[in-house]
C-alpha cells in the first residue's frame, strides 16, 4: 500500500477537482474519490481527495459524511487533513462550513484551525476579513443572487461565527506580510486566548505560501484550494513526501466529446456564449419545457449529433430566467430537473461513443458523475486555474472528464479544454 500524506475532503465535486488540480501541479499523483469509498483503502496516492455532495445538505448529514470521509483517509495513512469549500465561502447561517470543521477538529483532537478561501489567480482575496470577488465585495458580487446560498455579507468572521460554538478570530494581512514566524506567533496567541477558528487574510500567492508554511503542521487546515497548493513542496522539504513519490500519467482518449452546462453563473453564461459563437452545435434546455415534454426531445437531438464536433447542451441562463423557473416549479424541483436531464445526456453520449465529457456547474457535475457511476478519478492536465482534466472509467470505457465550477475559467474555457487535452 502506498502511503497517503494529505487527506482532503471537499464539499462538492468541482471543488474537489479544483483542489486536486492544484495539488497535481506538483507532478505527484493525486486520486479523487467520488463519495466515500465502500472498500477499505488498498492502493492509494500520496494525495487523496474525497468529493462529497454536501455543500447544501442538512448540517447533520454534511457532518456525518465528512466524519466518515475522515475515517477512511485516516485508514489510508493520511497524516494531515484539509477541509475544502468554495472560494466564495458558499454557506448559510447554519453551515455547513463551520459545523463540519468543528466535527473534524474534534475527531482529530485539534484545538485550532484556519479559514482561508482566497484564490488570487481566480480573483478571490481576503482583506481585513472581508472576501472580495475581483474588485467587488462578496455581498456585491453575483454571488449575492446565488439560488441556493446567496451571500449577503462579505465579512468571513461574521459569516463563520453563527456556524461554530467556539470563538472566531482574524489574522490580518499586515501580520501575514511579516512572514510565517509572525503568523505562527499570532496563531499561538489566539490559541492561548481560546480562539479556535481563525480567518486569515490573503491577497496574493505569496500570502498563501506564508500561510501554508506557518500552518503545515496543523492536523487540519480549511479553505479554498489555493492555500493547499504550496503543501506538496513543503512536505517534500520536511521529508513527509518522498522524492520518488508516484507521478501523474497521461492517456490517449478518442476525440468524441459532449459539453454539458448546468451552471447559471455570470462566467458560465459568457463561456456558453463564447462557445456557441464558434459554431459548435448546441441545444438549450428550458426547465418549463422539460417539465412538459421530458427528456425525449434533447436525447433525440443528441442522437443525431456528430460527437467529433463537441456539441453543447446547456441550461445556462441569466438570474431572472432562473428565478422565473423556480417560481413556477420550485427551487429544488427546477434544479433537479436540469441535473437529471444533463445526467441522462451524459450517459446517452457515453453510450454513443463520447470519451471526452466537459461539465460546468457543481450540482451538475455531481449528477453526471453519479449517473456515469464513476468512483475514482486520476488528475491530469490543468485547463484553467483549479480546473483539471481527469481520467476515469465508466461502464468499462476510459473517459476524460472535466468538471468546472461555475465561475472558473476564461470565456473561452470550453474550447481551451479541448485544446489542452489534444496537446497532452
Give the three-state DSSP class for 305. Answer: coil
Label residue 170 exposed, middle or buried (CB < 10 Å: 0-12, 13-18, 19+): buried
* 242 has a pLDDT exceeding 60: yes
**In the predicted model, what is the mean pLDDT of residues 399-404?**
94
- Domains in the chain and their CATH numbers? 6-238 (3.40.50.10840), 257-422 (3.40.980.20)
386 contacts: CB under 8 Å, gap ≥ 6 = 17, 18, 19, 21, 22, 119, 121, 122, 225, 226, 405, 408
**In the predicted model, what is the mean pLDDT of residues 327-355?**
94
Cell numbers placing 420: 489542452
Query: What are the phi and psi torsion angles at 202 (to 5°)?
Result: -160, 130
Give the three-state DSSP class for 105. Answer: helix
pLDDT tens digits, 71-113: 999 999 999 999 999 999 999 889 999 999 999 999 999 999 9
Cell numbers placing 387: 480546473
pLDDT tens digits, 142-160: 899 887 889 999 999 999 9
Percent of the chain with pLDDT over 70: 99
Contact 393, 374 (CB under 8 A): yes
CB neighbours of residue 249 within 10 Å: 9
Q: State the virtual CA torsion across 35, 39, 43, 44 in degrees, nearest 10.
A: 30
Closest CA to 350 of 386, 304, 400, 388: 400
Cell numbers placing 118: 482566497
Which residue(s) pair with 390 in the sheet?
379, 401
Element (H, E) at 168: strand 168-171
pLDDT tens digits, 243-262: 777 766 678 899 999 999 99
Mean pLDDT of the chain: 93
CB neighbours of residue 297 within 10 Å: 13
Euclidean distance between CA atoms 187 and 111, whole angstroms? 11
Euclidean distance between CA atoms 415 and 48, whole angstroms? 29
**CB-based burial, 171-189: b 16+ in 10 Å, e otherwise:** bebebbeeebebbeebbee
Q: Are strands 168-171 and 197-200 parallel, antiparallel or unpaired?
A: parallel
Give the three-state DSSP class for 80. Answer: strand
pTM: 0.81
User: Residue 2: its pLDDT value, please?
Assistant: 47
CB neighbours of residue 248 within 10 Å: 18
User: How many degrees, rounded to 5, is the angle at CA 324 between CA 320 and CA 328?
Assistant: 165
* 124 has a pLDDT exceeding 80: yes
Euclidean distance between CA atoms 142 and 264, whole angstroms? 11
**In the predicted model, what is the mean pLDDT of residues 396-406?**
92
Percent of the chain with pLDDT over 90: 79
* 1 has a pLDDT exceeding 60: no
**In the predicted model, what is the mean pLDDT of residues 346-366?**
95
Q: Are strands 312-314 and 282-284 parallel, antiparallel or unpaired?
A: parallel
pLDDT tens digits, 194-229: 999 999 999 999 999 999 999 999 999 999 999 999
Amino acid at each position: 500500500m502506498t502511503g497517503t500524506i494529505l487527506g482532503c475532503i471537499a464539499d462538492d465535486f468541482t471543488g474537489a477537482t479544483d483542489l486536486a488540480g492544484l495539488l497535481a501541479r506538483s507532478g505527484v499523483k493525486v486520486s479523487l474519490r467520488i463519495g466515500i469509498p465502500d472498500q477499505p483503502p488498498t492502493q492509494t496516492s500520496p494525495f487523496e481527495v474525497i468529493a462529497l455532495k454536501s455543500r447544501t445538505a442538512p448540517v447533520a448529514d454534511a457532518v456525518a459524511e465528512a466524519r466518515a470521509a475522515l475515517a477512511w483517509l485516516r485508514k489510508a495513512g493520511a497524516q494531515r487533513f484539509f477541509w475544502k469549500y468554495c472560494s466564495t465561502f458558499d454557506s448559510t447561517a447554519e453551515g455547513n462550513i463551520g459545523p463540519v470543521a468543528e466535527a473534524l477538529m474534534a475527531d482529530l483532537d485539534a484545538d485550532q484551525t484556519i479559514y482561508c478561501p482566497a484564490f488570487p489567480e481566480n480573483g478571490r482575496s481576503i482583506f481585513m476579513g472581508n472576501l472580495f470577488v475581483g474588485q467587488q465585495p462578496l455581498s456585491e458580487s453575483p454571488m449575492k443572487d446565488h439560488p441556493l446560498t446567496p451571500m449577503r455579507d462579505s465579512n468571513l468572521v461574521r459569516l463563520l461565527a453563527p456556524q461554530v460554538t467556539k470563538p472566531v478570530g482574524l489574522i490580518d494581512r499586515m501580520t501575514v506580510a511579516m512572514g510565517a514566524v509572525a503568523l505562527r506567533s499570532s496563531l499561538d496567541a489566539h490559541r492561548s486566548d481560546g480562539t479556535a477558528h481563525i480567518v486569515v487574510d490573503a491577497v496574493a500567492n505569496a500570502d498563501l505560501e506564508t500561510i501554508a508554511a506557518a500552518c503545515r503542521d496543523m492536523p487540519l487546515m480549511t479553505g479554498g484550494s489555493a492555500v493547499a497548493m504550496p503543501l506538496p513542496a513543503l512536505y517534500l522539504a520536511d521529508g513527509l513526501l518522498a522524492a520518488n513519490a508516484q507521478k501523474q500519467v497521461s492517456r490517449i482518449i478518442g476525440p468524441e466529446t459532449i459539453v454539458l452546462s448546468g451552471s447559471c453563473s455570470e462566467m458560465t453564461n459568457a463561456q456558453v456564449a463564447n462557445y456557441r459563437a464558434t459554431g459548435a452545435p448546441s441545444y438549450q434546455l428550458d426547465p418549463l419545457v422539460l417539465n412538459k415534454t421530458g427528456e425525449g426531445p434533447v436525447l433525440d437531438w443528441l442522437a443525431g449529433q456528430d460527437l467529433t464536433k463537441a456539441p453543447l447542451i446547456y441550461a445556462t441562463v441569466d438570474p431572472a430566467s432562473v428565478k422565473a423557473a423556480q417560481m413556477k416549479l420550485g427551487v429544488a424541483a427546477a434544479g433537479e430537473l436540469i441535473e437529471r436531464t444533463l445526467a441522462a445526456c451524459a450517459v446517452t453520449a457515453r453510450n454513443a461513443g463520447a470519451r471526452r465529457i466537459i461539465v460546468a456547474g457543481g450540482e451538475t457535475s455531481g449528477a453526471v458523475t453519479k449517473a456515469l457511476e464513476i468512483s475514482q478519478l486520476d488528475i491530469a492536465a490543468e485547463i484553467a486555474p483549479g480546473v483539471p482534466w481527469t481520467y476515469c472509467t465508466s461502464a468499462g470505457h476510459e473517459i476524460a472528464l472535466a468538471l468546472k465550477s461555475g465561475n472558473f475559467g476564461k470565456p473561452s474555457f470550453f474550447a481551451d479544454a479541448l485544446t489542452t487535452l489534444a496537446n497532452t
